[in-house]
């Protein structure tokens, strides 16, 4: 009887696969990434190394000494006090106690906080409260503390915001009107992000995280790049992270360009060069998971794109490793067997920073 390995599907279902089946899935996954992004596939020896990582018998795997990575996060420091519906623990404690527990109990490299909604639009209305919370926590933490939020340009459209909703305009054939609405919303979003970033810098913020950028498409990515540029010009010593929403930029606008580069359809290895050009200090690519495919397939796909991104980058690359991205199954409570294997593969093969 051939040896089988307990692994998972992209939706988290546990499945048994033979070594030959896993190898085949790895080859198909890297081939898919190469075809989509027009980049090289993983080498044969990298496929074999990845096969060994997936097939390791332990539930949790790790890297050899000297291959550990520095970790940043998007609000994970508040996971103990966060609601269980958001992947938190739901412990009855405040933000400050959660961040300190994360830093001191789990030996975190960095920490972060963010508004409960984790979007810039609501942050602006309660900015003084967020500034005070960050200031109090930063006085007690030793590790670098980031403030994070999502551009989330969708909140600027009607009925929640002032601008016409492209989702209503485009089906009606009003393409130019939909593009104009996105451009107007992007300008307001950019101004809001710069305003909030400047206020945090004046208060002494150590790092600012533009998280899940591009979730509303290419106009949102444009606003994020422009905001990051303006913020770094104003505050060159405040660290800035740009973390993406998906593996390629959705063309909701379709024609918008940044410094002459059309944004729609860009994959991580091109996204990172734009992040560099505006002064970002860290770039976070997000590779989508296909829930109908296996964990090995998704991991190989993500690793192929991350490897090429790191190869082309001149700034640190911190891949987004969480539910539904970079090979991690789409589960609220992500399985440690997959997380540890993704982390090991990204360190040893992807050469993540």
Query: Contact, 73 vs 339, CB < 8 A?
Result: no
Question: Per the structure block, which two tokens stand in for 268?
Answer: 């991580």
Q: Reply yes or no on whether the pLDDT at 2 is more than 60.
A: no
Average pLDDT, integer, range 156-162 = 96
The owner of tokens 């508040």 is 78
Predicted confidence (pLDDT) per residue in 239-290, tens digit: 999 999 999 999 999 999 999 999 999 999 999 999 999 999 999 999 999 9
Residues 6+ apart with CB under 8 A from 327: 287, 289, 295, 298, 299, 301, 302, 303, 321, 338, 341, 342, 345
Q: Nearest CA to 287 among 270, 267, 266, 312?
A: 267
Q: Reply yes or no on whether the pLDDT at 337 is more than 70.
A: yes
Residue 288: strand, helix, or coil: strand
Average pLDDT, integer, range 66-83 = 89
Calculate what percentage of the chain has a pLDDT beyond 90: 92
From CA 91, how far away is CA 71, in angstroms rounded? 23
State the helix-helix crossing angle for 218-234 and 268-277, rounded to 10 degrees: 30
- The DSSP secondary-structure symbol of 246 reads S
Query: Contact, 123 vs 196, CB < 8 A?
Result: yes
pLDDT reported for residue 295: 98
Predicted confidence (pLDDT) per residue in 131-140, tens digit: 999 999 999 9
* pTM score above 0.85: yes
Q: Reply yes or no on whether the pLDDT at 1 is more than 50.
A: no
Predicted confidence (pLDDT) per residue in 92-131, tens digit: 889 999 999 999 999 999 999 999 899 999 999 999 999 9
Phi, psi of 187 (to 5 degrees): -65, -45
pLDDT reported for residue 75: 84
Burial bucket for residue 85 (CB in 10 Å: 0-12, 13-18, 19+): exposed
Average pLDDT, integer, range 165-186 = 97
Predicted confidence (pLDDT) per residue in 285-309, tens digit: 999 999 999 999 999 999 999 999 9
**Confidence grade of residue 78 (pLDDT, cut at 50, 70, 90):** confident
CA 116 vs CA 83, 196, 238, 317, 323: distances in Å: 10, 16, 23, 26, 18
Q: How many of the other CB atoms lie within 10 Å of CB of 279?
A: 17
**Confidence grade of residue 88 (pLDDT, cut at 50, 70, 90):** confident
Mean pLDDT score of the chain: 96
212 alpha-carbon distance from chain centroid: 6
């Amino acid at each position: 009887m051939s040896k089988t390995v307990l692994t998972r599907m992209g939706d988290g279902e546990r499945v048994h696969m033979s070594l030959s089946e896993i190898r085949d899935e790895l080859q198909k996954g890297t081939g898919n990434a190469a075809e989509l992004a027009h980049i090289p596939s993983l080498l044969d020896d990298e496929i074999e190394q990845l096969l060994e990582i997936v097939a390791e018998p332990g539930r949790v795997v790790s890297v050899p000494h000297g291959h550990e990575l520095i970790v940043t996060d998007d609000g994970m420091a508040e996971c103990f006090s966060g609601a269980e519906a958001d992947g938190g623990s739901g412990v009855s404690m405040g933000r400050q106690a959660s961040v300190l527990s994360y830093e001191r109990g789990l030996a975190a490299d960095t920490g972060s906080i963010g508004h409960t909604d984790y979007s810039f639009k609501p942050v602006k209305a309660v900015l003084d409260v967020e500034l005070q919370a960050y200031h109090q926590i930063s006085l007690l933490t030793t590790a670098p503390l980031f403030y994070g939020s999502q551009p989330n340009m969708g909140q600027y459209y009607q009925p929640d915001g002032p601008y016409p909703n492209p989702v209503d305009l485009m089906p009606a054939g009003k393409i130019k009107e939909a593009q104009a609405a996105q451009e107007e919303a992007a300008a307001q979003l950019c101004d809001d992000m710069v305003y909030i970033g400047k206020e945090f810098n004046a208060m002494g913020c150590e790092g600012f995280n533009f998280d899940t950028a591009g979730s509303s498409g290419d106009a949102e990515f444009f606003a994020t790049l422009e905001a990051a540029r303006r913020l770094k010009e104003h505050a060159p010593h405040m660290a800035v992270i740009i973390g993406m929403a998906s593996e390629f930029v959705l063309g909701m606008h379709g024609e918008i360009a940044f410094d002459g580069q059309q944004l729609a359809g860009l994959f991580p290895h091109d996204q990172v060069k734009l992040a560099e050009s505006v002064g970002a200090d860290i770039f976070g690519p997000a590779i989508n998971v296909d829930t109908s495919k296996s964990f090995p397939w998704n991991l190989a796909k993500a690793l192929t794109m991350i490897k090429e991104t790191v190869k082309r980058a001149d700034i640190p690359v911190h891949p987004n490793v969480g539910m539904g991205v970079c090979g991690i199954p789409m589960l609220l409570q992500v399985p440690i067997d997959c997380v540890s294997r993704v982390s090991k593969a990204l360190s040893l093969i992807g050469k993540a920073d």
